[in-house]
Structure 1
Amino acid sequence: MFLEPIDFAKMYKEHKQKSVFKRKSSDEWDKKSKEMAPRMQKSHYVEDFISKMEIDKDDVVLDVGCGPGTLAIPLAKKVKRVIAIDFSRKMLDELESFAEAEGITNITTYHMGWDDDWSEIEAVDIVVASRSIEVLDIEAALLKISNLARKACYVSYMAGGSFVDMKILDYIDKTIVTKPDFWYLPIILYKEGYLPKVDYIPTSSGSVRYTDEDEFVKSLIWSLGSLNEVQQQKAREYYELYIKDAPGAPKDSVWAFVSWNCDIKRG
């Protein structure tokens, strides 16, 4: 096969290690849980994601990196059961509170992440990983969920290689190494014999709002890891010029929606 001489999994790993966008720890996500929950639990992105899935009322769904219940809550209203896992205990707390408020009783939560042993999780019909597959070993992660799902997997991954608008980076004079783009995923899946499909989910800039310039700078540091004093000052200028009177993120984001049937492989 023409792709065999190229080790895309190794390329991804090397690229990921060089990227400025590092994987966040569970403690960091714990601190984000309170502010994320209200925004993530009401989103057009969720409707778009679920509309692209093929689901049945008798399905058991595993939601990997479930966060505060962004997908787990609406999916629980449509399927037999949802198993929701996240390595942030605070995110699971938000999910459980939200589920209780909604009267949902068919969600089981586990405090675990991508690198943990999933042997206690039963085989499921469907696996979803919504904006949560920021792992170092992408091949291992894709195979892990493919082997667990009886029917299909649905994954979303940022298109473009940067969580921060390049216009902002240019303005504050911040040079970065982007993260691996989404095309690694379907290529690796194809090499493993699957027939992945790729679609796209645009997200509105209005889903992200900053109350002031300090919050904007803080969000950039969260994504980029660090900014020097000059870059922080330039970021404040950018906020005043382009964001303060036009609430919302400076650009819309696009998420690649990658799906594949786990029981169908190419011959």
Structure 2
Amino acid sequence: MPGIINWDELWKAVHPGGFHHNGDPAAYWDKKAKAFNQRVMKHREWAEMQVASLKLQPHETVLDIGAGTGRLAIPMARMAKSVTALDRSGGMLKCLKANMQAEGISNITCIQRDWEEIGVDEIPPHDVVLSSNSLGVVDLRTALAKMDQLAKRAVYIFTFTDHRRDGGFMEFLMPEHSRRSPSWPADYLIIYNLLADMGIHADISIHRFESSEYYANLDDAVASWKEMHDISDEKVPKLREFLSQKLIPTDQGLQMHRRSKIARISWQKDMQFEV
């Protein structure tokens, strides 16, 4: 039974512009795929830690929603019987297939579909259903219900606890266009509370994530961030100013070190009861 707060509607209010990147999210991520792949596939230690927490068994199947270029799908495929990698972006899945070939992985099936559009009758149930920083949906309740329906053992959701995983870049660049009111709760709290309203009693834990990226020089860093964040030419001086304040000289080049916190929301299907 819904509580006093309508968490589903609050989710929509927190994301008034949605997640549709100028109306075509697939095209947006197609464009970003190669640069995104280069960045995320470097963080193998964190990926291995995330996958280890799932306690996958050799006989189990995994559905990875918004699999991207395979940061988690590839290590999961080494532990599980098979992985279904679902992503709306053909460019992302193309990178994933290249990563599979490079890693000698053959038990990942790629499906190019949008999670909001695919029906539960179009994909078989999997032992584990996973979403890592990929719940860019408008109808959160329906998305969560589908995850629960298609999971036989457990569901896992990883999501950042705030919007400063870019080191505060967007706030620095466009402080006049703050994405949310300070009084609004973080996404992970909305997800957790909506699950409770749905009768799903989830576990939640917060984990610290640190990452470093290195650049040959400031021009190299500016070019990389300009491409990844779609920075217009007129805002490049502001980008250069931001990076000059954040980058630290090291023996490996200029270092961008970032700290974030990630929430893991999960529930075991055999631990759920009628309410």
How would you bin the TM-score normalised by the shorter chain? 0.7 to 0.9
Q: Corresponding residue for 1:194? A: 200
How far apart are residue 88 of structure 1 and its match? 0.5
Q: Corresponding residue for 1:26? A: 26
Q: Corresponding residue for 1:49? A: 50
In the alignment, residue 259 of structure 1 is paired with which amino acid?
S
How far apart are residue 23 of structure 1 and its match? 3.8
> Helix, strand or coil for the counterpart of 1:128?
strand
When the two structures are superposed, what TM-score results if normalisation uses the length of structure 1? 0.85
> Helix, strand or coil for the counterpart of 2:49?
helix
Q: Corresponding residue for 1:261? A: 268
> Is the CA contact (8 Å cut-off) linking 1:135 and 1:141 kept in structure 2?
yes
The structure carrying a bigger strand percent of its residues is: 2
Mapped partners of 2:194, 2:161: distance in 1: 16
> Is the CA contact (8 Å cut-off) linking 2:86 and 2:112 kept in structure 1?
yes
In the alignment, residue 59 of structure 1 is paired with which amino acid?
E
**1:42 and 1:212, CA in 2 relative to 1: closer, same or farther beyond 3 A?**
closer
> Is the CA contact (8 Å cut-off) linking 1:194 and 1:261 kept in structure 2?
no
Q: Corresponding residue for 2:242? A: 238
Report % sequence identity. Answer: 25
In the alignment, residue 70 of structure 2 is paired with which amino acid?
G
In the alignment, residue 134 of structure 1 is paired with which amino acid?
G
1:136 to 135, 138, 154: 138
> Is the CA contact (8 Å cut-off) linking 1:88 and 1:111 kept in structure 2?
yes
**1:239 and 1:93, CA in 2 relative to 1: closer, same or farther beyond 3 A?**
same
Mapped partners of 2:188, 2:154: distance in 1: 19
When the two structures are superposed, what TM-score results if normalisation uses the length of structure 2? 0.83
1:99-138 counterparts in 2 under 5 A? 99-118=100-119, 119-138=121-140
CA-atom RMSD in angstroms: 2.7
In the alignment, residue 221 of structure 2 is paired with which amino acid?
D
In the alignment, residue 235 of structure 1 is paired with which amino acid?
L
1:20-99 counterparts in 2 under 5 A? 22-24=19-21, 25-43=25-43, 44-99=45-100
1:216 aligns with 2:225: yes
> Is the CA contact (8 Å cut-off) linking 1:243 and 1:249 kept in structure 2?
yes
How far apart are residue 13 of structure 1 and its match? 1.0
**1:228 and 1:38, CA in 2 relative to 1: closer, same or farther beyond 3 A?**
closer
**1:253 and 1:6, CA in 2 relative to 1: closer, same or farther beyond 3 A?**
same
Mapped partners of 2:173, 2:30: distance in 1: 31
In the alignment, residue 7 of structure 2 is paired with which amino acid?
F
**1:168 and 1:23, CA in 2 relative to 1: closer, same or farther beyond 3 A?**
closer
How far apart are residue 90 of structure 1 and its match? 1.3
How far apart are residue 38 of structure 1 and its match? 3.4
**1:68 and 1:56, CA in 2 relative to 1: closer, same or farther beyond 3 A?**
same
1:252 to 259, 262, 273: 259
In the alignment, residue 261 of structure 2 is paired with which amino acid?
V
> Helix, strand or coil for the counterpart of 1:92?
helix
Mapped partners of 1:159, 1:79: distance in 2: 28
Mapped partners of 2:214, 2:150: distance in 1: 34
> Is the CA contact (8 Å cut-off) linking 1:212 and 1:244 kept in structure 2?
no
> Is the CA contact (8 Å cut-off) linking 2:204 and 2:266 kept in structure 1?
yes
Structure 1: 5+ residue runs without aligned partners? none
Mapped partners of 2:28, 2:170: distance in 1: 23
In the alignment, residue 15 of structure 2 is paired with which amino acid?
K
**1:175 and 1:72, CA in 2 relative to 1: closer, same or farther beyond 3 A?**
same
